[in-house]
Every structure is written in structure tokens, then in C-alpha cells.
């Protein structure tokens, strides 16, 4: 007879406890709901909306991060974005920067190029992919900087899509920057009006503006502004190198991924040299004053003008990059860097006799040693030697030197790779092997965007490489469960990761050639 009373008493107590706890539970639930990532996100300038893609990934394309660099803002440091009212749809890429119309050439099919339109001087937009369910998640962030020789490129290239990386837990950002004459034009009058006593590095200043936007806004997308990795390939990798060296980029990122490109070997143009080139260019354009230069239509300027490259302007870059690193003044970041086996970009191939003669003319007493590392006993051997020498001079020696400097200073870890996978191909594309840019679809798990006869080994390598890249962005170390161990690059062992069908670690295979090349071309 007493059991029902006890049961009712227990039920009453449970109900009472639930009632007492409900306000607290409601408050926590409301807080979690408030932190949930909505489609509409408030960013600098106003509110934006995005779109949802597969597996719960949201993408926001064409977010303005600075004012349009047109009219009076042509060749000026990026200015604050112009605010907008209402909700701005960000569902399509913003225009690519002014450049020639893209067309496949050499080893680069359409998947490696920007879309044909839109292309505009109004180009300072970025994109965000995120799988975060809450704005409080603090996911690692990768900011992608494209290549293109500082004269082409943009974020709407298919192999730069960020969905796959977002699915792996990264908030992926890609940003546009000015290229060619719009991004790298110095002139004495521009230097005078700048208030910085500098001109020329506008494309790099765009990158800084984009990184500042990330610091101010990425938490709204579930990203962690204190865990940002900058990544780039070719001119994008050179940009990463510049940003690591620049005092303007201090505290904007923690880690760097540099794929095939740096600026350690050749001296950069000085501001005075770049200004002189600018004066000569203005003369050729029949526009000697800034007013006339800024009044030129963008299409005419693109057609007749010529771009340059990063310079030592005294503002973004206070000195040559090698000197900044040697003085210990570069931003201290963990580094993942490397280059590809077949990315030499040499011009016309000389026969064996002419190649040997070239070495004798350019390197005199070092010519015989050159031929030990880059042999030319016959025309076929000479062709391979020239391709390898081109690879090493343009890319390999740059990233190798950076890795050596960082390893020697010992402030932050460095991890080095060599991408040797012969990218599957048909027709003319077969001859390019592990070509320049060939690793990008693997590193960001975007093989699906490239029309090649992929094999199971390629999909395995893409999963492995993207896993390394995500781990590095997360914790500054590419290693993780299920991945072959990638050793820290140290001196004198110089062990690297060979990225191929069966990735292996080994001592860098051609270190003797690279060491000789450094002594022959830099120290002398």
C-alpha cells in the first residue's frame, strides 16, 4: 500500500527538480542557440548571406574586404570597405583582378586558371568555407594566396575550392590581390603622396588587408583568429615568404605553408630602381602624371602596361628578405615547404655542346663541377640537366635555403617535402610529370576538379597530403594518426618527405647539388 505513495513522491521530486533546473537549462540552451552559426553573418561593412553545399559546409563567396581600388584609389594602400545596408548575398565569386584573358597553355589546363569572367580592377574580395556549427568552435584557419607570377591569378580557380578542407575541420579562406601593373607599380609621385615614402607593393598590401579582415571577422565563421596559417604556391609562396618577412604582417598568422617559391636568392629591386621603371613605363603610356595615369581605362592599362614584382620599398619590406631573416627580424612561424620534381620552367633547350659552352661562359672555373651535378654528355642528358637546373634555380634553391635558414635559427620547426608523383595525363600533358602546380589539387584534396585519368594511388596521396596540411594548420606539425611519420627538418640530417605513390622519408636526394649551386650562384 505504501509503494504507490513512494512512486508518486519520487515522480513529484523529479518534476520539482526539473522545474527548478529549467531556467538554467533554458539559459544554456539559449546561449548555445545564440552561438549557432547562422547563414547571415555580420562582418566588417555589414551583414552577408552565403549558401550551403554538401555535408553541411557553408560557403560565402565575394566578400568585400577593402574598398574598390579604382579611380583615385588606383595604386593606393587598400582602404576600408564601404559599408552596405541590408543583407548582401555572397554566393558568387567576386571579379578576378585585371589580367589577360585566361587560356590553357603549357602544362596548365583550364582547371588551373581563373574563369574568363568577371575580370575587373574592382577585385578586393575574399571567400570563406566553413563547416562550423557554432561561432565558438575556434577551428584552425588556412588563408590561401594564389600564384601567377604576380601578373595573373584569382580565387575562382577550380583547384582552389575550399570545400574539401572545410570538411576536414579547417575554415578555409581565399583572397584576391592586385596583380600586374595594378598591383606592382612604383613611381616617385606615388611615393610622395603615400605618406609612407613608399610605392609599388600594392598586391602585398592587399594580402595584409585580407589577413587583418580575417583577424577581425573569422571568429564569426567558427574560426580561430589566433590559429591562422597562410599558404600559397608559386607567386603565392613568394607572397607567403614576403609576409613572413614583413613587419606589417606581425601577429596576423602563426604558421606558413610555402609551395614552390621564395625570394632568398636574387636581390629584389630597390624602391629607386622600381620608381625609375615606373617613370619609363609612364612615358611609354603617354601619361607622365598621376592624374593621367589614373584616368587611363583599366583595359588600356592592362594591354599596354607591364607589371613588376615585390620590391624593397622600405615600408612593407624594409630590406631584402634574406637580410631580414639573417638579422632574425622575420616573423617567427612554423613552416611547411617544398617543391616539385619536374617544375623547371627553362626556355629553349640547348644541345649538349651549347649547354656546356653556356656553363663555361657563365660559371668559368665552376663549369666542370656544374657538369658533375647537371651532366651533358649528349643532347638527351643535356635536356634533363637544363630542366633540373631550371627547377633548382627558380624554385628548389629558394625553398631549400629558407628551410636551412629556419632550421639553423631553431626558433620554429620546419617540415620539407619533395612532390615526385608523375601526375597521370593523356596526350601532350604526359611529358610534364610532377609539374609546377601539379601538387595543389592533391594538397587540398581537389582531384575531382581536374580532368585527368586518376588512379587509386592518386586519391590515396590526396587524402594523405591534405591530412598533413590540415594537421599542420591545426597544431604546427603535419603528423597524425594513420599518416607516415614526417620528421622535422634538421641540420645536418636534412630529412624530408618524398610525396609519391608510396610516401617515404629520406635525406634530401640532391642536397650536394643544391649546396654547390648555392655557393656558385649566391656566395660568389
User: What is the set of active-site residues?
Assistant: 234, 343, 436
What is the per-residue burial (b if ≥16 Cβ within 10 Å, else e) of 261-273? bbbbbeebbebee
CB 419 within 8 A of CB 434: yes
Please name which of 256, 259, 344, 270 lies closest in space to residue 308, comparing C-alpha atoms: 270
State how far the Cα of 92 lies from the Cα of 333, in Å rounded to an integer: 33
Q: 223-233 and 125-130: which strand pairing?
A: unpaired
State how far the Cα of 477 lies from the Cα of 497, in Å rounded to an integer: 13
The answer for 459, left when phi > 0, alpha when psi is -120 to 50, beta otherwise, is alpha
Please name which of 403, 399, 413, 401 lies closest in space to residue 472, comparing C-alpha atoms: 413
State how far the Cα of 233 lies from the Cα of 63, in Å rounded to an integer: 22
Please name which of 474, 478, 477 lies closest in space to residue 140, comparing C-alpha atoms: 474
| CB-neighbour burial class of residue 368 (10 A; exposed 0-12, middle 13-18, buried 19+) | exposed
State how far the Cα of 390 lies from the Cα of 346, in Å rounded to an integer: 5
CB 469 within 8 A of CB 480: no
| CB-neighbour burial class of residue 383 (10 A; exposed 0-12, middle 13-18, buried 19+) | middle
Please name which of 347, 336, 333 lies closest in space to residue 418, comparing C-alpha atoms: 336
- CA dihedral over 499, 502, 505, 509, signed as positive or negative: negative
State how far the Cα of 141 lies from the Cα of 510, in Å rounded to an integer: 34
State how far the Cα of 236 lies from the Cα of 70, in Å rounded to an integer: 23
State how far the Cα of 307 lies from the Cα of 183, in Å rounded to an integer: 8
Prior bond of 492 cis (ω within 30°): yes
List 174's β-bridge partners, or say none: 127, 144
Please name which of 172, 166, 175, 174 lies closest in space to residue 141, comparing C-alpha atoms: 172
State how far the Cα of 470 lies from the Cα of 365, in Å rounded to an integer: 47
CB 256 within 8 A of CB 334: yes
Instruction: Give the containing element (helix H, strand E) for 22.
Output: helix 3-35
- In three-state secondary structure terms, 142 is strand
Amino acid at each position: 500500500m505504501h509503494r504507490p505513495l513512494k512512486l508518486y513522491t519520487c515522480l513529484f521530486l523529479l518534476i520539482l527538480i526539473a522545474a527548478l533546473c529549467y531556467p538554467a537549462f533554458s539559459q544554456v540552451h539559449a546561449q548555445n542557440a545564440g552561438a549557432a552559426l547562422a547563414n547571415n553573418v555580420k562582418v566588417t561593412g555589414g551583414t552577408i548571406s552565403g549558401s550551403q553545399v554538401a555535408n553541411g559546409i557553408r560557403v560565402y563567396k565575394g566578400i568585400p574586404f577593402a574598398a574598390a581600388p579604382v579611380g583615385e584609389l588606383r595604386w593606393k594602400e587598400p582602404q576600408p570597405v564601404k559599408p552596405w545596408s541590408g543583407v548582401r548575398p555572397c554566393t558568387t565569386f567576386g571579379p578576378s583582378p585585371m589580367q589577360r584573358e585566361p587560356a590553357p597553355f603549357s602544362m596548365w589546363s583550364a582547371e588551373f586558371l581563373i574563369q574568363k569572367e568577371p575580370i575587373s580592377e574592382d577585385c578586393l574580395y575574399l571567400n570563406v568555407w566553413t563547416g562550423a556549427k557554432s561561432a565558438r568552435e575556434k577551428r584552425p584557419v588556412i588563408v590561401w594566396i594564389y600564384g601567377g607570377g604576380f601578373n595573373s591569378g584569382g580565387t575562382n580557380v577550380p583547384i582552389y575550392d575550399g570545400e574539401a578542407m572545410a570538411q576536414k575541420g579547417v575554415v578555409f579562406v581565399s583572397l584576391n590581390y592586385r596583380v600586374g601593373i595594378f598591383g606592382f607599380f612604383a613611381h616617385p609621385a606615388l611615393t610622395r603622396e603615400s605618406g609612407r615614402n613608399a610605392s609599388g607593393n600594392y598586391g602585398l598590401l592587399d594580402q595584409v588587408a585580407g589577413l587583418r579582415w580575417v583577424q577581425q571577422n573569422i571568429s564569426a565563421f567558427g574560426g580561430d583568429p589566433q590559429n591562422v596559417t597562410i599558404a600559397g604556391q608559386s607567386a603565392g609562396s613568394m607572397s607567403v615568404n614576403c609576409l613572413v618577412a614583413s613587419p606589417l604582417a606581425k601577429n596576423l598568422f602563426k604558421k606558413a605553408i610555402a609551395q614552390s617559391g621564395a625570394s632568398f636568392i636574387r636581390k629584389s629591386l630597390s624602391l629607386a630602381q622600381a620608381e625609375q621603371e615606373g617613370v619609363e613605363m609612364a612615358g611609354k603610356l603617354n601619361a607622365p602624371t598621376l592624374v593621367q595615369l589614373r584616368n587611363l581605362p583599366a583595359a588600356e592599362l592592362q594591354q599596354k602596361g607591364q607589371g613588376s614584382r615585390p620590391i624593397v620599398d622600405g615600408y612593407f619590406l624594409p630590406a631584402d628578405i634574406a637580410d631580414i631573416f639573417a638579422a632574425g627580424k622575420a616573423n617567427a612561424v612554423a613552416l611547411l615547404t617544398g617543391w616539385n620534381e619536374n617544375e623547371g620552367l627553362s626556355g629553349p633547350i640547348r644541345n649538349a655542346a651549347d649547354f656546356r659552352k653556356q656553363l663555361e661562359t657563365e660559371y668559368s672555373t665552376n663549369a666542370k663541377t656544374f657538369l658533375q651535378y647537371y651532366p651533358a654528355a649528349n643532347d638527351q642528358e643535356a635536356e634533363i640537366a637544363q630542366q633540373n637546373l631550371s627547377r633548382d634555380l627558380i624554385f628548389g634553391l629558394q625553398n631549400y635555403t629558407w628551410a636551412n635558414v629556419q632550421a639553423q635559427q631553431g626558433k620554429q620547426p620546419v617540415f620539407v617535402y619533395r612532390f615526385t608523383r608523375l601526375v597521370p595525363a593523356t596526350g601532350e600533358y604526359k611529358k610534364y610529370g610532377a609539374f609546377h602546380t601539379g601538387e595543389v589539387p592533391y594538397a587540398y584534396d581537389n582531384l575531382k576538379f581536374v580532368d585527368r585519368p586518376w588512379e587509386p594511388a592518386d586519391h590515396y596521396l590526396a587524402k594523405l597530403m591534405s591530412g598533413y596540411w590540415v594537421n599542420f594548420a591545426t597544431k604546427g606539425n603535419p603528423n597524425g594518426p594513420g599518416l607516415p611519420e614526417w620528421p622535422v627538418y634538421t641540420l645536418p640530417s636534412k630529412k624530408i618527405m618524398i610525396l609519391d605513390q608510396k610516401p617515404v622519408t629520406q635525406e634530401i636526394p640532391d642536397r650536394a647539388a643544391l649546396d654547390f649551386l648555392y655557393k656558385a650562384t649566391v656566395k660568389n
